[in-house]
Amino acid sequence: MKLMRLPLALCALLLSAPLAAAVPGAGDVPPTWPDPIDDDARYGFLLIDRLEYSDNEGPNTLAWEALGWVGGDVNRLWLNTEGRQRLEGAGSDIERLDVSFGRLIAPYWDLQLGVGTQRIDGPGSDAERYSAVVSLVGLAPGWFEVDANVRLSDVGGVSANLEAEYELLLTQRLVLQPRFETIVAGERVSAFGVGEGLNSVVLGLRLRYEIRRQLAPYVGLEWTRKYGETADLARAENEAVADTAWVAGLRLWF
């Protein structure tokens, strides 16, 4: 029996050599294989989520909301901006810009730490304030897009903002997007029309047609309601407490 084991072992070794050479990865990589994935690669993204004309019950406005990032799969540098400009009549124009460092903390969820600035221009004195910002951005169960942030400002203390959106595909190109937003502030800041407590609630519904995935015109309806001290400040400035507006705009990403 011992005399038979040596020839059998040699035969097995000789047979395994050509098989190992044929197994992918056992020798040189075939030239037709794609390049390996670089986990340290850097990418960039820019989304103009809203660029829209708003036909309000009061003065009509032009509004925008955009975000962009540069980085990898885990760490990114984020830029967020939004604002509103009145196209007629007296009133205030407002804009916000945030710069944050974001890190992926769970699948589909980014934690962001950064700084932000908010500016308001109106018929009276202009105002500006700066904030430290902590944000949590991602996809909640049910595929709701969520953006929640807390701000600590040099004027007005602590405030919190919550946005949630959902995309319902009616067809491959026609998308219905409900949107919800609310703001809560810890202190009253008259210069920014902000009162203590619940400031406002915004409900929107937009229907867009994706000519391409990167280019989509849309129309929609948006309802805004101010509450508490914020409503009192609006009345003092002869502004509407509740407003319903038709909107039309473009959504772009690169």
* Domain boundaries of the chain, sorted by first residue: 44-253
Note down pLDDT in tens along the chain; length 254 residues: 444 444 544 444 444 444 444 444 445 677 788 776 666 788 999 999 999 999 988 789 999 999 999 999 999 999 999 999 988 766 678 899 999 999 999 999 999 999 999 999 876 678 999 999 999 999 999 999 999 999 999 988 899 999 999 999 999 999 999 999 999 999 999 889 899 999 999 999 999 999 999 999 999 999 999 999 999 999 998 888 999 999 999 999 99
Under 8 Å CB-to-CB from 165, ≥6 apart: which residues? 144, 145, 177, 178, 179, 180
Helical segments of the chain, H only:
2-22, 228-236
3-class secondary structure, 213: coil
Reported as half-sphere exposure (CB side, CA atoms, 13 A), residue 22 has a value of: 5
Q: What's this model's pTM, rounded to 2 decimal places?
A: 0.82
End-to-end Cα spacing for the chain: 72
- Residues facing 202 on adjacent strands: 181, 224
Cα separation, 134 vs 68, whole angstroms: 17
Would you state the CATH architecture of domain 44-253?
Beta Barrel (2.40)
- The number of angstroms, rounded, from the C-alpha of 119 to the middle of its chain's C-alpha atoms is 21
- pLDDT for 37 equals 66
